[in-house]
């Protein structure tokens, strides 16, 4: 399905944005240059009749994104956490995309549960409510387990969601190939790889068995973390299209007025959200990859409750150490070390100048320190970072896409709770603790011990492996000796032939 016919899908995207009025709002929110805004609107206007109408009761941008499909909704969810990028008004509009989308009928949800679990809904649950939340891929019903009476949340995928996602990702693949072919300057960003990564994450989210397993692993990793909780999975009432978890009672993280009314310290809560994310990413290498406000609740005692584990991120130990050193370098304002880490990790081509790169990083980092975070334009900062990466030939690293995207989302959440938060000061204790435990003599000894354990496991096979290595060496030496003999013979024949030819020429003369 990834052929040129996707041009229609992309044209309809622009047409829908123009028809709903979203195009003008987005261009104004991101402060697009006037000539760029005029060109885009002139190109989209003749096709506006091809655009989808959407729900006129919604604001223009949510109206357009909702009718375009789940992939566009996911994008809008990210932007809803970035008022510093799109503005307070647009960010507020986009929050309806998190868990307030139009639901599908409860009768379809009950039928899906019965079909997936293989038992009538009445046998599983004594109560089964109307939808309490509806997101881009699924909706949630509040229910009560038959027999135990335990309150649970039942998540059910939207009907036909797989086909809808396939349509969106097919269009994205086509657009990425066109961009890569027509704009060589952006090839370093590997747009096709980025879309491949997005597609794999999206379709993994459509198998709720994987989400159940992710929730169980995340819960095991974080059970000792203070004031943080994961609802438990009810495995006997879960499947590929249905997931049942314990009910999480609390205030939505986006409901600022309710948090204030409950006496929740939003400043402390913002710090905890950011520090928990960094702790999970660095300590465990396994973190919640979709931490927007719609997936977070706050209990009355201030405990942070996370749910919706369809997108989880995993990074290996080496990458975590690189990431921590980069963060720590920025925190200490040691831009030379940050630059060296980029070169050591292979993030920047070795033929570039490390001092020039350090100077460019200083221009990115210095505006952050000593300033109120509310005065920092993240839009301008990201734009300058793009210029730096382009100048130094850095390529997009697909294994870090989710980490980078989640960091953007988490920062947006913390800033909505505390507009004056300083992300570097709050991050410092977590990063310092990780550096102390994982980079230095203690970490070196631990790595050596792990290496020794691996070698010990292969101890009984070491003599055999040594014999095989010696046999391969002897075989290679014999082959090399044979080759040398053949080469010497060839040179002798060639030399004899040349000598004979010279003698013949002299004799003839």
Residues belonging to the active site? 290
In angstroms, the CA 66 to CA 9 distance is: 15
Contacts of 179 (CB under 8 A, 6+ apart): 186, 191
Nearest to 76 by CA among 64, 90, 65: 65
40 closest CA partner among 51, 64, 21, 24: 24
Q: Is the separation of the CB atoms in 132 and 326 below 8 Å?
A: no
Please, are residues 288 and 218 in contact by the beta-carbon 8 Å criterion?
Answer: yes
Pair 220, 214: CB distance under 8 Å: no
C-alpha to C-alpha distances, 404 to 115, 221, 246, 283, 442, nearest whole angstrom: 38, 21, 30, 17, 28
Distance CA 425, CA 271 (A): 10
Q: Are 400 and 347 within 8 A, CB to CB?
A: no
Rounded CA Rg of the chain: 29
Q: List, as own/partner pairs, every contact residues 120-123 make where C-beta atoms lie below 8 angstroms and the sequence separation is at least 24, other chains included.
A: 122/146
- Tokens representing 474 are 């002897």
């Amino acid at each position: 399905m990834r052929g040129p016919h996707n041009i229609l899908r992309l044209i309809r995207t622009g047409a829908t944005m123009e028809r709903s009025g979203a195009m003008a709002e987005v261009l104004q929110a991101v402060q697009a240059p006037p000539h760029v805004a005029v060109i885009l609107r002139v190109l989209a206007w003749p096709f506006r009749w091809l655009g989808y109408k959407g729900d006129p009761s919604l604001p223009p941008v949510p109206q357009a994104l909702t009718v375009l499909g789940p992939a566009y909704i996911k994008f809008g969810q990210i932007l809803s956490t970035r008022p510093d990028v799109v503005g307070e008004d647009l960010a507020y509009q986009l929050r309806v995309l998190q868990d307030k989308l139009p639901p599908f009928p409860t009768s379809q949800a009950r039928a899906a549960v019965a079909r997936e679990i293989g038992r009538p809904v009445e046998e599983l649950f004594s109560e089964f409510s109307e939808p309490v939340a509806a997101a881009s891929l699924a909706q949630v019903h509040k229910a009560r387990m038959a027999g135990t009476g335990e309150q649970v949340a039942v998540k059910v995928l939207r009907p036909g969601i797989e086909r809808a996602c396939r349509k969106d990702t097919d269009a994205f693949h086509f657009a990425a190939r066109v961009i890569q072919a027509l704009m060589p300057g952006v090839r370093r960003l590997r747009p096709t790889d980025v879309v491949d990564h997005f597609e794999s994450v999206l379709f993994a989210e459509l198998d709720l068995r994987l989400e159940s397993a992710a929730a169980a692993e995340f819960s095991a990793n974080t059970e000792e973390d203070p004031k943080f909780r994961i609802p438990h999975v009810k495995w006997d009432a879960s499947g590929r299209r249905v997931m049942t978890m314990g009910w999480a009672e609390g205030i939505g993280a986006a409901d600022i007025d309710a948090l204030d009314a409950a006496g929740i310290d939003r400043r402390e809560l913002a710090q905890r959200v950011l520090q928990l994310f960094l702790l999970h990413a660095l300590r465990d290498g396994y973190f919640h990859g979709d931490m927007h406000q719609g997936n977070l609740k706050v209990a009355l005692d201030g405990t942070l409750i996370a749910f919706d584990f369809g997108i989880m991120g995993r990074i290996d130990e080496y990458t975590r150490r690189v990431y921590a050193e980069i963060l720590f370098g920025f925190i200490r304002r040691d831009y030379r070390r940050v630059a060296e880490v980029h070169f050591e990790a292979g993030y920047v081509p070795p033929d570039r100048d490390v001092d020039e790169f350090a100077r460019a990083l200083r221009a990115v980092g210095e505006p952050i320190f000593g300033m109120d975070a509310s005065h920092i334009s993240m839009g301008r900062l990201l734009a300058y970072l793009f210029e730096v990466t382009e100048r130094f030939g850095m390529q997009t690293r697909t294994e870090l896409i989710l980490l980078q995207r989640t960091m953007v989302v988490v920062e947006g959440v913390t800033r909505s709770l505390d507009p004056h938060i300083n992300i570097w000061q709050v991050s410092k204790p977590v990063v310092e603790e990780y550096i102390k435990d994982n980079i230095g003599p203690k970490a070196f000894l631990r790595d050596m011990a792990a290496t020794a354990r691996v070698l010990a496991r292969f101890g009984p096979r070491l003599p055999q492996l040594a014999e095989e290595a010696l046999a391969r060496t002897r075989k290679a030496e014999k082959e090399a000796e044979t080759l040398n003999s053949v080469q010497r013979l060839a040179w002798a024949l060639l030399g004899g032939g040349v000598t004979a030819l010279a003698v013949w020429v002299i004799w003839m003369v």
